Chains A and B, each alone.
Chain A
């Protein structure tokens, strides 16, 4: 298959088209704008819809409408814009609608900065909007994975009728790497629940997140959480790299995991037994996989482009059975392999 050199944002956009995405609604924000620009160019040529909304809030509610109509729909933004979308995401989750949301993270809080960051982990995995619900959260670490995960995100969102997020960052969005694409999907799953006009062939469908009777709302949530259990049991994903004999396991996702891998390779060359555990699904967190990966480890080192958010899931996943150290840079600063190597060496020395 031909290897194309493409920016992460553009590759992701192309992958969305190939995954059968019919409608894209967005609003410009750095560093994700290439997604919108690409789709503005190619959606109409592929029989799809591109619309620049008046706001992030409008965009996510357009996604809600298109998803209700039964088509594959997507929006993308970067951190401040995702905050604006949170209301709509909650309604989408509460209405059991599938869609894909892209967050090409930048530094926050507030207007923050425009350089790559991972400080929206909590927002994505814990609280993107009010209410009892989860999103599927995928954390690619290469342009190829941007493509693979956006394809998977659409399929999973449809299967489990829930929103899925690609949690990328400015580095993955802006960088170019070789990438290959899957064939374009032609067959998509039927959606008998869609509000696309009953044509007098069925009862009317209602897309709704309002339940005024507490027991009815509780039941709708319990149903949703049953699906979450199925996902937790069957659909976690992670990469374990040189973990089998590792005394130290570095945990990192996305761009930070690339930096960490460089550091792990250098540490290995120096004879330090260190591995890398990289969650690919952030929700659900790969609990089984991390326990397997660090079964021989004496300590963990969590590396993030934030002040430490995923570290809480790491500790919970291993039930605080081992010390978990932290190294992070934030505000849009990308840690260097040297810095991470320094932390690994410190830990290795103290473990001797």
Chain B
């Protein structure tokens, strides 16, 4: 029988540790498909974060590095400066990219470091069991905001791609989601564009992926995907906030 749907070659044939209904698997797959389509697995170095995706180094078949919490963009910078012709991407969660590692993210972006950052935003700390993320929504109940995120106490959520879009070093700052088929198709296009930017040495590309966490949101996977549409996207609108290829190459 003809195989019409298969695991991308650059994903390892191993079970992942992700919870049922988690969208990390989809995002891994999209990256792997892009790597396969561009034929760059042998020339790619991925950087895994601290957070739910900490063991991504076992799932991607390209060379992988496990970075310290939040430091993936700095580690990626080190790899890229040593090997400027290789592809380097980081895979980071919201705590990693937008809290503990904000400085590394912002400075890699403003330097125009020629790397791809995949920023998975599910508005909660998954691995540690559901604490407030820098991107948790106003009013969102988490383990550390048990009465809902009160922005007058806990501060406001951070909008990363909007913030990074004003930096000169950024080639692409785009927000996508993976809760529906059209959104997933859009997400893959954006990831492909990011890697194409790296190939063309256009600078820093960040793709923020709105993602779900059924376990810590305390809802079924299906409801979690609906919630992305209902509460995440209204607060974090999708779209390319900066795209140098759309504006004409700089």
A206 and B63 contact, CB distance less than 8 A = yes
A65 and B63 contact, CB distance less than 8 A = no
A64-B45 contact in complex given A49-B82, A54-B103, C-beta closer than 8 Å: no
**Complex: A69 Cα to B103 Cα, angstroms:** 23
A58 and B63 contact, CB distance less than 8 A = no
**Complex: A49 Cα to B45 Cα, angstroms:** 19
B86 and A196 contact, CB distance less than 8 A = yes
Q: Which among A173-181, A197-205, A265-273, A335-343 touches the partner chain?
A: A197-205
A66 and B41 contact, CB distance less than 8 A = no
Complex interface: chain B residues within 8 A of A208 (CB): 57, 64-66
**Chain B at the A interface: mostly helix, strand, loop or mixed?**
helix
Q: Pick from A51, A55, A88, A201: contact of B68, CB below 8 A.
A: A88
Counting CB contacts under 8 A, is B76 at the interface? yes
Contact string against B for A residues 27-62, beta-carbon threshold 8 Å, 1 for contact and 0 otherwise: 000000000000000000000010101110111011
Counting CB contacts under 8 A, is B216 at the interface? no
**Complex: A208 Cα to B136 Cα, angstroms:** 29
Chain A nearest CB, measured from B181 CB (Å) = 30
Q: Pick from A54, A65, A205: contact of B78, CB below 8 A.
A: A65
A200 and B42 contact, CB distance less than 8 A = yes
Complex interface: chain A residues within 8 A of B41 (CB): 198, 200
**Complex: A240 Cα to B101 Cα, angstroms:** 48
B74 and A199 contact, CB distance less than 8 A = no
Counting CB contacts under 8 A, is B215 at the interface? no
Instruction: Give the one of A53, A55, A207 with max B CB within 10 A.
Output: A207
A-B contact pairs, 15 of them (CB 8 A): A23-B81, A57-B104, A62-B74, A62-B77, A65-B75, A88-B71, A91-B68, A197-B42, A204-B62, A206-B57, A206-B63, A208-B65, A208-B66, A209-B66, A210-B55
Interface residues in B2-60 (C-beta closer than 8 Å to A): 41-45, 47, 54-55, 57-58, 60
A195 and B68 contact, CB distance less than 8 A = no
Instruction: Give the one of B57, B68, B76 with max A CB within 10 A.
Output: B68
Q: How many residues does chain B have at the interface if contact means C-beta atoms less than 8 Å apart?
A: 35
B79 and A61 contact, CB distance less than 8 A = no
B63 and A204 contact, CB distance less than 8 A = yes
What are the 4 closest A-B residue pairs judged by CB atoms, nearest first?
A65-B78, A195-B63, A61-B74, A62-B78
A206 and B66 contact, CB distance less than 8 A = yes
Chain B nearest CB, measured from A264 CB (Å) = 44
A61-B104 contact in complex given A51-B77, A197-B63, A209-B66, C-beta closer than 8 Å: yes
B104 and A54 contact, CB distance less than 8 A = yes
Instruction: Give the one of B44, B54, B61, B71 with max A CB within 10 A.
Output: B71
Contact string against A for B residues 69-109, beta-carbon threshold 8 Å, 1 for contact and 0 otherwise: 00100111111111100100000000000000001101100
B82 and A197 contact, CB distance less than 8 A = no
Counting CB contacts under 8 A, is B67 at the interface? yes
**Complex: A205 Cα to B103 Cα, angstroms:** 28
Chain B nearest CB, measured from A112 CB (Å) = 23
B86 and A197 contact, CB distance less than 8 A = yes
Complex interface: chain B residues within 8 A of A195 (CB): 45, 63-65, 79
Chain A residues at the B interface, C-beta cutoff of 8 Å: 22-23, 25, 49, 51, 53-55, 57-59, 61-71, 73, 87-88, 91, 95, 195-201, 204-210
Q: Pick from B44, B45, B74, B78: contact of A73, CB below 8 A.
A: B78
The chain B residue sitting closest to A87, CB to CB, is B68
Complex interface: chain B residues within 8 A of A201 (CB): 42
**Complex: A196 Cα to B44 Cα, angstroms:** 8
Chain B nearest CB, measured from A195 CB (Å) = 4
Complex interface: chain A residues within 8 A of B78 (CB): 23, 25, 61-69, 73
Chain A nearest CB, measured from B214 CB (Å) = 23
A71 and B82 contact, CB distance less than 8 A = yes
B82 and A73 contact, CB distance less than 8 A = yes
**Complex: A72 Cα to B83 Cα, angstroms:** 12
Chain B nearest CB, measured from A241 CB (Å) = 41
Instruction: Give the one of A49, A67, A206, A209 with max B CB within 10 A.
Output: A206
Chain B nearest CB, measured from A113 CB (Å) = 27
**Complex: A208 Cα to B47 Cα, angstroms:** 10
Complex interface: chain A residues within 8 A of B64 (CB): 195, 204-208
The chain A residue sitting closest to B54, CB to CB, is A210
A62-B81 contact in complex given A68-B75, A198-B42, C-beta closer than 8 Å: yes
A62 and B63 contact, CB distance less than 8 A = no
Chain A nearest CB, measured from B184 CB (Å) = 26
Chain B nearest CB, measured from A98 CB (Å) = 13
Contact string against A for B residues 222-235, beta-carbon threshold 8 Å, 1 for contact and 0 otherwise: 00000000000000
The chain B residue sitting closest to A69, CB to CB, is B82
A61 and B45 contact, CB distance less than 8 A = no
A70-B71 contact in complex given A62-B77, A196-B63, C-beta closer than 8 Å: no
Chain A nearest CB, measured from B225 CB (Å) = 29
Instruction: Give the one of A23, A25, A197 with max B CB within 10 A.
Output: A197
Chain A nearest CB, measured from B61 CB (Å) = 5
Complex interface: chain B residues within 8 A of A87 (CB): 68
Chain B nearest CB, measured from A85 CB (Å) = 11
**Complex: A23 Cα to B75 Cα, angstroms:** 13
**Complex: A259 Cα to B75 Cα, angstroms:** 41
